[in-house]
Amino acid sequence: MLPVSDFKIQKKNNFNLIGKIKVRVIVIIGSLVAFSFFAQLVFANNIATDGQKLAQIQNEIKKLESENTTLKVKIAQESSLATLTQKAQELNFRRPSKIITP
Amino acid sequence: MSQLDRIKVFQIIIYVVAFFVIARLFYWQFIAKVEGTFESIISDSFLPAPRGEIYDLSNFPLVTNQEAFLIYGKPHDLDQNPEEVAKTVAPYLISEKYATKSAGLSEDEQKKKDEEIKAKEEELIKRLSDKNLFWVQLGRKLPKDVKEEIEAKKIRGLGFEPDQKRFYPEASMAAQLLGFVAFDKIGQDTGYWGLEGYYDRKLRGKPGRLGQETDPLGFPILVGKYRPIASQKGASLYLTLDRVVQFIVEEKLKQAVEKYGAKEATVIIAQPQTGSILSMATYPTYNPDLFLEFDESLYKNPAVADTFEPGSIFKVVAMSAALDLSIVQPTTRCDVCSGPRQIGGYEISTWNKKYYPNSTMTEVIEHSDNVGMTFVSGKLGIDKFYDYINKFGFGRRTGIDLEEESTGFLREKKDWKTIDLATASFGQGIAVTPIQMVQAVSTIANKGRLVSPHIVAKIASSDKEEKINSKEERQVISPKTAAQITEMMVNAVENGEAKAFAPKGYRIAGKTGTAQIPVSGHYDPNKTIASFVGFAPADDPKFVMLVRFTEPTSSPFGSETAAPTFFAIAKELFNYWAIPPDENK
């Protein structure tokens, strides 16, 4: 039979061991949670920036498409027969009177 | 309670709370259907589909799209009172015909413009004063420059949404052929009349949706739901129409209508071997961009929708039938042509009361002899003549790809009497469309083979291309008959009433026509439809052309109005296609 004092010491030592393990687990979990929060912040920040970039690219596409449409209209307008005829008249062009074939 | 027990109790509490939290999260995630708040951040915007374009033979856009904008107002957000906003914006939202500077407007136009602005102002005040509305549409299809001018006024509470609008680089060219785009009952762009109407489903494309989650600042959330449906642009049409030919025709037609004082004129030019329409013009016309400013009667295309009694141009059809059945030969002599003829109680006479006894069939066509044609139709009989009229495609649609084509009018065979047989041989008592007449004469020009007309060569979208061919192709008369009737038509041009106008050095086959217009059961002697149909060069036709004037006032005859116009256009076409004259002719 162990003396009472020894049992108490063993019990105390056991409690210290469990306590140490629990503290480590808590520290690890806490670190993981803190790391996760930090990672989330970093990712969220990146995603927010990328969303802004995507919006910028989308706006750029819209702008280019708009310019493209405007230019297409302008080209068609400038090369219309009504415009060409007017320019030909201003430059004193004359209708061909003879047909020349190769 | 011991320390261990307390720990256990504490653990149980934690597990129970965790269970409730997880259960609640599960409920919100999978069971509860939450609407409203979360949906509001999904930018489910409508992506309009650009309408397909319409190109001519040389791939030049006759109809394309330009940027336009919808303007709206938010009555609660306005920083000025509705009266001020309306006064500023109204001048930009009236008809585009007043888009020119005030200096370019007549006094009457200026007055109408002011009235229109006032009416628009009242309409805008009414809309912007309605505080029950969060959003009101103020105008649509605003050009980009107008949008920028309004934006420069910096009025809070006004906004713009992108839209598209048709643009016509050649303005009113081929307006009746192209049709126009307007809103339907639910405010969507819809094609009406002509090609826009006929090919509306193909041209309009499929609108898409964005379906993207955005943050409160409007930026897309990349890890959020993203389910866009891309819009599909409508298919584009590539026509057989040549804009240079169309330009020449429209120019000549306008001059001719003014010169001959006609109510209306139509020209169709087709390629007989393929049925391709090279030009289709009508004057007066309208501007499809401002179609609301024109009378609705101008919208339909008379080249395919109008029916008319063809008169003498129909003689080539009757003569072709008789030649094809070998009932007559070009040299057959008419033994009833010495004077007017009584048929079924009616007197049949010639247009100029001149008679040519014993004339040959070639001379009957040359003189446009009505009595001579009754000789031909008498030999043909109702059954055979009717069959040939059908074979040439009269009495039903040609199938041309235009919305408003009509069938013409051909009475049923059982209703025909002897007088109907006689009058139909010189083009009275039946009604045809201009395009039917072009199809019939193209058959003669194409060695007796009918190729139905069409205007679209191909339909192209981003993923496929569809070639459009003629719907019908068949032999109607023999090549020998076609050659015989061609020679008769060449003779009619070279020796007929209009020979002075024909360009030298070219063999042109043609026939004039002058038909009185039936009004309330009788023919009005002062109102005629003057026409000329023909093709050139006669031995290797590059084109078939019909010229038709409605009620010309300078002269009622086709030989003095339609024929000179035909030859004037033909001369330009010979130049354009570099078809040299034969110096020996």
Give the C-alpha separation, B567 to B536, whole Å. 10
Q: What is the pLDDT of residue B46?
A: 66
pLDDT band at B512 (very low <50, low <70, confident <90, very high): very high
Return the number of other C-beta atoms located less than 10 Å from residue B336's C-beta.
13
Cβ atoms of B85 and B267 within 8 Å: the answer is no
Measured between beta carbons, the chain B residues lying within 8 angstroms of A72 are: 61, 64
Measured between beta carbons, the chain B residues lying within 8 angstroms of A99 are: 574-575, 578-581
Residue A99 lies in a domain: no
Task: Read off the pLDDT of each residue in B361-388 and give the average, rounded to a whole number.
Answer: 94
Q: Cα-atom radius of gyration of chain B, to the nearest Å?
A: 34
User: Given B170, B171, B580, which is nearest A99 (Cβ)?
Assistant: B580
Measured between beta carbons, the chain B residues lying within 8 angstroms of A66 are: 67
Domain count, chain A: 1
Q: Is B326 helix (H, G, I), strand (E, B) or coil?
A: coil
Nearest CA to CA, how far is A80 from chain B (Å)? 6
Domain count, chain B: 3
Say yes or no: B17 and B97 in one domain: no
Q: Is the pLDDT of residue B37 over 50?
A: no
Say yes or no: B28 and B83 in one domain: no
Task: Read off the pLDDT of each residue in B371-378 and give the average, rounded to a whole number.
Answer: 95
Cβ atoms of B225 and B213 within 8 Å: the answer is yes
A52 touches chain B (CB under 8 A): yes
Angle at B365 (CA atoms; ends B362, B369), nearest 5 degrees: 120
Q: Is the pLDDT of residue B36 over 60?
A: no
Closest by CA to B59, choosing from B247, B236, B298, is: B236
Task: Read off the pLDDT of each residue in B36-60 and give the average, rounded to a whole number.
Answer: 74
Say yes or no: B129 and B164 in one domain: yes
Q: Which long-range contacts (CB under 8 A, 24 or more apart) does B95-101 make?
A: B95/B290, B95/B292, B95/B293, B96/B143, B96/B289, B96/B290, B97/B290, B97/B293
Say yes or no: B228 and B321 in one domain: no
pLDDT band at B215 (very low <50, low <70, confident <90, very high): low
Q: What is the pLDDT of residue A101?
A: 61
Give the C-alpha separation, B569 to B562, whole Å. 11
Say yes or no: B375 and B495 in one domain: yes
Q: What is the pLDDT of residue B38?
A: 47
Q: Is the pLDDT of residue B53 over 90?
A: yes
Closest by CA to B304, choosing from B395, B403, B405, B397, is: B405
A102 touches chain B (CB under 8 A): no
Q: What is the pLDDT of residue A6?
A: 62
Q: What is the pLDDT of residues B442-498, one digit of tens each?
A: 999 999 999 999 999 999 998 899 999 888 899 999 999 999 999 999 999 999 888
Give the C-alpha separation, B242 to B316, whole Å. 28
Nearest CA to CA, how far is A77 from chain B (Å)? 5
Say yes or no: B261 and B112 in one domain: no
Cβ atoms of B407 and B360 within 8 Å: the answer is no
Q: Would you list which residues of chain B are within 8 Å, Cβ to Cβ, of chain A?
A: 60-61, 64-67, 144, 167, 169-171, 173, 214-215, 218-223, 243-244, 247, 574-575, 578-581
Average pLDDT, chain B: 88
Q: What is the pLDDT of residue A3?
A: 57
Q: Is A66 helix (H, G, I), strand (E, B) or coil?
A: helix
Measured between beta carbons, the chain A residues lying within 8 angstroms of B247 are: 81, 85
Return the number of other C-beta atoms located less than 10 Å from residue B323's C-beta.
24
Task: Read off the pLDDT of each residue in B169-198 and give the average, rounded to a whole number.
Answer: 91
Cβ atoms of B517 and B525 within 8 Å: the answer is no
Return the number of other C-beta atoms located less than 10 Å from residue B190's C-beta.
17
User: Given A54, A55, A73, which is nearest B167 (Cβ)?
Assistant: A73
Query: How many angstroms separate the Cα of B384 from the Cα of each of B126, B274, B436?
Result: 69, 28, 19
Query: How many angstroms separate the Cα of B167 from the Cα of each of A76, B51, B401, B462?
Result: 10, 11, 22, 21
Q: What is the pLDDT of residue B35?
A: 52
Give the C-alpha separation, A28 to A25, whole Å. 5
Give the C-alpha separation, B282 to B263, whole Å. 11
Q: What is the pLDDT of residue B293?
A: 85
Task: Read off the pLDDT of each residue in B495-515 and give the average, rounded to a whole number.
Answer: 90
Percentage above 90 pLDDT, chain B:
56
End-to-end CA distance of chain B: 131
Task: Read off the pLDDT of each residue in B118-139 and give the average, rounded to a whole number.
Answer: 86
Residue B581 lies in a domain: no
- List the helix and strand counts (H, then E) for chain B: 16, 22
A81 with B144: Cβ contact below 8 A: no
Residue B180: CATH number of its domain? 3.90.1310.10
Say yes or no: B326 and B352 in one domain: yes
A66 touches chain B (CB under 8 A): yes
List CB contacts of B504: < 8 A, sequence separation 6 or more.
B581, B585
Amino acid at B309: E
Give the C-alpha separation, B268 to B257, whole Å. 15
Say yes or no: B64 and B147 in one domain: yes
Residue B132 lies in a domain: yes
Measured between beta carbons, the chain A residues lying within 8 angstroms of B285 are: none
Measured between beta carbons, the chain B residues lying within 8 angstroms of A69 are: 65-67
Residue B409 lies in a domain: yes
Cβ atoms of B327 and B320 within 8 Å: the answer is no
Task: Read off the pLDDT of each residue in B293-306 and give the average, rounded to a whole number.
Answer: 93
Q: What is the pLDDT of residues B250-259, one digit of tens each?
A: 999 999 999 9
Nearest CA to CA, how far is B545 from chain A (Å)? 21
Cβ atoms of B367 and B356 within 8 Å: the answer is yes
Q: What is the pLDDT of residue A12?
A: 65
Q: What is the pLDDT of residue B103?
A: 53
Q: What is the pLDDT of residue B330?
A: 95
A73 with B243: Cβ contact below 8 A: no
Give the C-alpha separation, B452 to B442, whole Å. 9
Torsion region of B520: left, alpha or beta (phi above 0 gives left; psi -120 to 50 gives alpha): left
Max intra-chain CA distance, chain B: 142
Q: Is the pLDDT of residue B41 over 60?
A: no
B579 with A100: Cβ contact below 8 A: no
Q: What is the pLDDT of residue B108?
A: 81
Cβ atoms of B578 and A99 within 8 Å: the answer is yes
pTM of this structure: 0.82
Q: What is the pLDDT of residue B61?
A: 95
A48 with B215: Cβ contact below 8 A: yes
Residue A96 lies in a domain: no
Give the C-alpha separation, B444 to B485, whole Å. 7
Q: Which residue has the higher pLDDT, B49 or B12?
A: B12
Say yes or no: B188 and B278 in one domain: no
Nearest CA to CA, how far is A40 from chain B (Å)? 13
**DSSP code, position A48:** H
Measured between beta carbons, the chain B residues lying within 8 angstroms of A73 are: 64, 66, 167, 169
Say yes or no: B25 and B47 in one domain: no
Residue B319 lies in a domain: yes
pLDDT band at A7 (very low <50, low <70, confident <90, very high): low
Q: Which neighbouring-strand residues pair with B281?
A: B267
**DSSP code, position B503:** P
Structural domain boundaries enclosing A70: 4-90
Structural domain boundaries enclosing B11: 3-32
Task: Read off the pLDDT of each residue in B548-576 and give the average, rounded to a whole number.
Answer: 92
Helix residue ranges, H only, B137-242 = 144-152, 175-178, 194-198, 200-204
* Structure tokens belonging to residue B446: 């194409």
pLDDT band at A98 (very low <50, low <70, confident <90, very high): confident
Query: Which segment of B275-284, B409-418, B440-449 scores lowest on mean pLDDT?
Result: B409-418
Q: What is the pLDDT of residue B394?
A: 95
A82 touches chain B (CB under 8 A): yes
Q: Is the pLDDT of residue A62 over 60?
A: yes
Q: What is the pLDDT of residue B487?
A: 96
B167 with A70: Cβ contact below 8 A: no
Say yes or no: B518 and B398 in one domain: yes
Say yes or no: B255 and B209 in one domain: no
Closest by CA to B497, choosing from B414, B411, B434, B564, is: B564
Q: What is the pLDDT of residue B533?
A: 97
* Structure tokens belonging to residue B237: 């049409």
Measured between beta carbons, the chain A residues lying within 8 angstroms of B241 are: none
Task: Read off the pLDDT of each residue in B78-88 and give the average, rounded to a whole number.
Answer: 88
Measured between beta carbons, the chain A residues lying within 8 angstroms of B214 are: 51
Mutate to test the interface with A, among B45, B57, B67, B219 (most CBs of A within 10 A): B219
